[in-house]
């Protein structure tokens, strides 16, 4: 299965899509998602790599309207618009250090001998949770 993308809409655009969906204007809602939404990650095989495809926009609107067939895996989900770029960690002996998620994971692994396997496992699960949440 292809990577399921996350479609992000501004608050105003999300309200507009919800209003159109409630009014039964499904095609207009789909068009609005396609023209105002930003899909991540980029799909370089599409003419507009950051724009939701027709199928992705349709799935987003059908989920909003409660019309999505539960047997069908959605090609995209509606994302929150938030993305965690870095985390500030208070490290004993170093003070506050700002790290991106990849560097934070590496730091946890480097500290395996001092933190212990159980603690490192829990910390890595935390960073995995954040990364998965951002993917939708």
pLDDT tens digits, 48-102? 999 999 999 999 999 999 999 999 999 998 887 677 889 998 888 888 989 999 9
Among candidates 106, 109, 128, which has minimal Cα distance to 119?
A: 109
Q: Bridge-partner residues for 88, per DSSP? A: 98
HEC letters along 60-83: HHHHHHCCCCCCCCCCEEECCCCC
- pLDDT of 3 strictly over 70: no
| Residue 132 reports pLDDT greater than 80 | no
pLDDT of residue 136: 54
Through-space distance between the first and last CA atoms of the chain, rounded to whole angstroms: 15
Q: How many CB atoms lie within 10 A of CB 56?
A: 25
Which pLDDT score is estimated for 19? 96
- Return the higher-pLDDT residue of 4 and 102: 102
Tell which wins on pLDDT, 46 or 26. 26
């Amino acid at each position: 299965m292809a990577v399921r993308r996350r479609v992000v809409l501004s608050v105003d655009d999300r309200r507009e899509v919800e209003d159109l969906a409630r009014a039964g204007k499904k095609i207009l809602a789909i068009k609005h998602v396609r023209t105002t939404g930003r899909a991540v990650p980029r799909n370089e095989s599409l003419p507009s790599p950051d724009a939701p495809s027709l199928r992705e926009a349709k799935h987003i609107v059908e989920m909003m309207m409660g019309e999505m067939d539960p047997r069908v895996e959605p090609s995209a989900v509606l994302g929150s618009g938030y993305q965690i770029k870095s985390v500030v960690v208070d490290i004993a002996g170093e003070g506050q250090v700002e790290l991106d998620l990849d560097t934070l994971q590496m730091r946890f692994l480097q500290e395996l001998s001092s933190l212990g396997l159980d603690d490192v496992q829990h910390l890595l699960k935390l960073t995995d949770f954040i990364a998965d949440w951002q993917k939708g």
